[in-house]
Every structure is written in C-alpha cells, then in structure tokens.
Amino acid sequence: MRRVYLDHHSTTPLDPRVLEAMIPFLTEKFGNASSRTHAFGREAEEGVECARAQVASLLGAQPRDIVFTSGATESDNLALQGVASFYRDRGNHIITSRIEHRAVLDTCRALEKQGFEVTSLPVDSCGSVDPEAVSRALTARTILISIIYASHEIGTVQEIQAIGKIAKEREIFFHCDATQGAGKEPIDVDALGVDLLSLSAHKIYGPKGIGALYVRRRKPRVRLEPLVHGGGQERNFRSGTLNVPAIAGFGKACELAGAEMDEERSRLVRLRALLHQRLSRLEGVGLNGHPERRLAGNLNLSFADVEARALLRALGNEIALSPGAACTSAVPEPSYVLRAIGLPLELTLSSVRFGLGRFNTEEEVRWAADRVAETVEELRSRPF
Ligand SMILES: *Cc1c(COP(=O)(O)O)cnc(C)c1O
C-alpha cells in the first residue's frame, strides 16, 4: 500500500547525506571526544568541533556558544531551569506565551512550584504574541522571556526581532524555542537579539536524540546552573560523553538546511498552496494560524462537522497526519494552541495539521489532497 508522510512537525526522515556523515563515527572513528591523548579521541573531537561550527553557522553564532544536548526538550529545560536557578537572587518572574511547546510550558509549571511567577501571554486569532504585551508584562523581578519562534501546531512565526529589541533595552535574558524555525527560516541570533535558543536535529532531517542550546557568551554573558553534573563536558553546562555520530549528523543536517533553505522554502510554499487549493474545494474548510507569517511546510485546517480523529483513523495507514500537537494526541483533549487562538471547541476537534517536508513530491501532495477530500466527504455523508 502507498504511504505518504505529511507529519514533518513531529519528526522528519533522516536525509541520506546525513546518514553518510554519521557512518564513520559509528564505525572506525569510535573514540571518546574527551580523550585527547590519542588519535582515536582526537578524530572524534574533530568531528564534534566540525559539527559545532556547522550548527553555529546556521544561527549566525560562534561555535563556542553551542552546547549539545539530547534534544530541544532538554535545551528548553536547561535554558529555563538554568537561568532560573542561577539568577534566583535577581528575580523570580518569567514571561512566556500560551502557545509554547510542552517542554517550555511544563518547565514553567515546575518552576512555579519552586516559587517562580510565570506570566503566560495570550495570542491573537492568528496565533501571534504582541511584542507590546511582552513589554507591559515586564517587572523589576523579571529574569527571563521565553517565546517560541514558530508554532509546531499552527506554524505562526512570531515577531522575535521586536521582542528581542525589548529584551535588550530592558536587559532581560531572552530564550527562543526555535525547534521549528531553525533550518527553515533565516535565523541570526544577533539580529534577533536572542540570548538562548533551542533546536533539535530530528526536526531538520537529522537523527533523534540530539539537539543544542545556543548560549550567548558575550554582551551579555548568560550563565546557567547545569541540570546534569559530571565530567564537565560542554563548558560544564551539560556533562556526559558526547554522542559523536549523532552530533556529526546534526552538523551535516544544519549545513544542508542552510545551503538549501531558500529553494526548499519556495518549493514547500508552492506545495502547500497546491494542497490548500485542492482541499478548499470542499465546503467548511477553515485555515488556522497566520495567513502569511507561517512556516512554509505548515497547513492547519479545520473541517467543519468532521471529527479529526475519525478522519485520521480512516487515513492512518496511507497518510501520516496529526490532530493538533502530536505530543498531546494520546489524550483526547482539545489542543491548547487552537484554544488559545479562540477557535470554538468543536472546530478544535475538527482540525488537522499537515506538515510538508523535503522529500514530498507534487504528485504525492495531489494524491493525498484527493484522498483527504474523499474521506471528508464520506465521513460527512455518514449518518450519526
Ligand atoms: C519537537 C519540538 C520540541 C521537542 O524537541 P525534542 O528534540 O523532540 O525533545 C520542542 N519544541 C518544539 C517547538 C518542537 O517542535
């Protein structure tokens, strides 16, 4: 049976060129990157440092600003908990938004239990955070602002630069979860005024279980209390023997994403327009998220009078799609992101996220659009 993968916000397939870059470090170059006394270790270290430069280059950062982690969940935890613990004497207030990934939301919840105060800013009907609202929420006790770069659910891209400017003016650290934006949108940490930035390899055609946190070292220098203690790797921010093959793959994935970004973006915008246009032939289709300021591969649609779960069940063996955020899809709960944009409850349960990616073809998109349209009509014609 034919299968089409349209769930690239959950994860992406490994690019064959990434696999190729990993293989030497899974075979002959197996050394511990911290064992600098011999050639085995030095080869591994070289692989790590090459990857560090590749990741940094994608973000306009210095290689020394990159800390490897197990993924964006850990990066978000390290950024928030690390700043909160280190700067506890300076203040206890954190500003974030209602549409963050659970890795940020739940970390904030845990910090609240430790006495921190969290302001969760609302978003407008397109899913945008108003930079002025960030400004108004600042208090003398604020130590950190954490705003997502682009929504993993509705694709809305935030005005990060405007928020970064406010953070700089008020001298507050600014963390950005750019897991969905890095490698897809041009990101420059200096231009954006970001001090901490999370990203993950498996969202950009790299391996799972590896990510990074950008930590600004100068103007201002950000200090963090580590979450994991031990051998002192990664500037003491994240101890543990480095996963060299995964890091090498992550570096290659960043290099490819940077080199092919413009072309890939315009191709995905075209495919998304095709998908949207074909599905818009149906009655009762609504677009969730921002009409323009959104990730190229993201299309989030509501199909009135159709239960998203039923639609995905009917298509599940052929077309991989997600009802709202994948992380919460095990729980039959309406997506908090769709609730935050003010979508009526009924439509939140009728919403489907399409995530297009690097290896999707035009022919696949046409076929999938027609299969979805057929299935929507079939479900609507069924008596309750
Ligand atoms: C996927 C994702 C994460 C979690 O990343 P992992 O590397 O899977 O831990 C965090 N934030 C956003 C926005 C994501 O899309």
pLDDT level of residue 324 (50, 70, 90 thresholds): low
**Digit-coded pLDDT (tens) for 150-184:** 999 999 999 999 999 999 999 999 999 999 999 99
Q: How far is the CA of 5 from the centre of ligand 1 (A)?
A: 18
pLDDT at 341 over 80: yes
In a mutational test of the pocket of ligand 1, which residue from 7, 100, 101, 153 has the highest number of ligand atoms less than 8 Å from its CB?
101
Residues 128 and 160: beta-carbon distance below 8 Å: no
What is the average per-residue pLDDT within 339-346? 95
Ligand 1 and 8: CB distance under 6 A = no
Residue 325 — pLDDT band, cuts 50, 70, 90?
Answer: very low
Is the Cβ atom of 12 under 6 angstroms away from ligand 1? no
Atom of ligand 1 nearest to the CA of 148: 13
3-state SS class at 199: strand
Q: How far is CA 185 from CA 61, 181, 204, 259, 269, in A?
A: 15, 5, 12, 12, 12
Q: How confident is the model at residue 327 (pLDDT cuts 50, 70, 90)?
A: very low
CA 80/CA 196 separation, integer angstroms: 9
Which atom of ligand 1 lies closest to the CA of 149? 13
Query: Does 71 contact ligand 1 (Cβ within 6 A)?
Result: yes
Residue bearing the CA closest to ligand 1, atom 12: 179
What average pLDDT does the segment 355-374 reach?
98
**Nearest to residue 63, comparing CAs of 76, 77, 52?**
52
Ligand 1 pocket, residue 200 CB under 6 Å:
yes
Which atom of ligand 1 has the smallest separation from the CA of 9? 15
How much of the chain exceeds pLDDT 90, in percent?
Answer: 96
Pocket lining: 290 vs ligand 1, CB cutoff 6 Å: no
- Indicate the burial class of 26 (C-beta count within 10 angstroms; 0-12, 13-18, 19 or more): middle
Interval 107-134: pLDDT, tens: 999 999 999 999 999 999 999 999 999 9
Give the residue, by CA position, lying nearest to ligand 1 atom 2. Answer: 179
Structure tokens at 247: 């890091």
- Pick from 111, 91, 87, 115: nearest CA to 196: 87
pLDDT at 101 over 50: yes
Name the strand (E) or helix (H) holding 113. Answer: helix 102-113
Q: Is the pLDDT of residue 337 over 80?
A: yes
Mean predicted confidence (pLDDT) in 25-52: 97
Decide: 73 in ligand 1 pocket, CB within 6 A. yes
User: Is residue 252 lining ligand 1, measured as CB closer than 6 Å?
Assistant: no
pLDDT digits (tens, 9 = 90+) for 239-283: 999 999 999 999 999 999 999 999 999 999 999 999 999 999 999
Cβ atoms of 336 and 306 closer than 8 Å: no
Interval 39-52: pLDDT, tens: 999 999 999 999 99
Q: Give me 296's structure tokens.
A: 């190229």
Q: 144 alpha carbon to ligand 1 midpoint, in Å? A: 20
316 with 3: CB under 8 angstroms? no
* pLDDT tens per residue across span 51-87: 999 999 999 999 999 999 999 999 999 999 999 999 9
- With bands split at pLDDT 50, 70 and 90, how would you rate the model's confidence at 330? low
Residue identified by tokens 């993993």 is 152
Paired with 285 in beta bridges are 303
pLDDT of residue 326: 45
Q: How far is the CA of 101 from the centre of ligand 1 (A)?
A: 7
Question: How far does the centroid of ligand 1 lie from the alpha carbon of residue 218, in Å?
Answer: 26
Measured from the Cα of 76, ligand 1's closest atom is: 10
pLDDT at 334: 87
Q: What is the mean pLDDT of residues 323-328?
A: 55
User: How is residue 304 written in tokens?
Assistant: 């009135």
Strands 298-303 vs 351-355: parallel, antiparallel or unpaired: antiparallel
Mutate to test the pocket of ligand 1, among 98, 180, 196 (most ligand atoms within 8 A of CB): 180
Candidate of 11, 69, 176, 179 to mutate for ligand 1, largest count of ligand atoms within 8 Å of Cβ: 179
Judge if the beta carbon of residue 107 lies within 6 A of ligand 1: no
Amino acid in the structure at residue 12: T
Average pLDDT, the chain: 96
- pLDDT-derived band of residue 316, with 50, 70 and 90 as boundaries? confident
For residue 173, report the phi and psi dihedrals to the nearest 5 degrees: -65, 145
pLDDT at site 332: 58
Per-residue pLDDT at 169:
97
254 is catalytic: no
For the stretch 1-14, pLDDT in tens is 899 999 999 999 99
Question: Among residues 127, 129, 132, 169, which one has the least CA distance to residue 146?
Answer: 129
Tell me: the pLDDT tens digits for 206-246?
A: 999 999 999 999 999 999 999 999 999 999 999 999 999 99
Q: Of the listed 108, 126, 176, 327, which one is catalytic?
A: 327
